[in-house]
Amino acid sequence: MTTPIRLLLADDQALVRGAMAALLGLEPDIEVVAEVGRGDEIVEAAQRTSPDIAVLDVEMPGMDGIAAAAALAERLPGVRTLMVTTFGRPGYLRRAMRAGVSGFVVKDTPARELAEAVRKVAAGLRVVDPTLAAESLTSGDSPLTEREADALGAARSGGTIADIARGISLSEGTVRNYLSAAMGKTGARTRAEAVRIAEQNGWL
């Protein structure tokens, strides 16, 4: 009998994580070896349990799934990653591919197809939701620079310019410039609107 594919599951929603573990655990060639609810727990759990594949949600506390995938690729290059997300945003797909992710599917994928995606990633293939791939090709890259995205990400909490500047260790004037540039590039009238547009496109 062949050795089962060892899976690490990461999702901050316990119900979703449990359902995925139960469904994938029914497959004879798949074994769930770890479950975590935070992005910053992923690398440590992978070091402890030696999975073949990490199935990661994008939006998690502590560290988002794309950053966690990049950390995994650096620390444990033998572990392949498959992103499973509610938010099928083209910008997420582009960022995930840059982080070395092997697959990207949305959460309403049927269990049978998810198991098949896991097998394909384990075999060294790349799996991408076809609708998302098409949208990604037509939507183009994020117009934001890394620093503009940082400033906009820090503005999510709705703090003052001084709060944002402190949070990302920049001067208030520099933060104002980055936010102004981000608003111009997103066509937003307010900082909050710029955050919303960038989030909808998966640029943050």
For the segment 160-184, what is each residue's pLDDT rounded down to a tens digit?
999 999 989 999 999 998 998 888 8
Co-location of 45 and 84 in the same domain: yes
CA-based nearest residue to 73, from 49, 94, 95, 54: 54
Q: Are residues 66 and 133 in the same domain?
A: yes
**CATH number for the domain including 25?**
3.40.50.2300
Q: Are residues 75 and 48 in the same domain?
A: yes
Residues 44 and 75 reside in one and the same domain: yes
C-alpha–C-alpha distance, residues 194 and 184, integer Å = 9
The CATH number of the domain holding residue 193 is: 1.10.10.10
How many domains in the chain?
2
29 and 101 both lie in a single domain: yes
- Give the C-alpha separation, 113 to 105, whole Å: 10
Same-domain check for residues 131 and 157:
no
Tell me: the pLDDT tens digits for 95-137?
A: 888 888 999 898 888 888 999 999 999 999 999 887 777 666 5
Clarify whether residues 128 and 160 are in a common domain. Answer: no
Q: Give the residue numbers spanning the domain of 82.
A: 5-138
- Tell me, yes or no, whether 99 and 25 share the same domain: yes
Task: Tell whether 91 and 132 lie within a shared domain.
Answer: yes
Residue indicated by tokens 């060892």: 6
Its pTM surpasses 0.85: no
Same domain membership, residue 113 and residue 48? yes
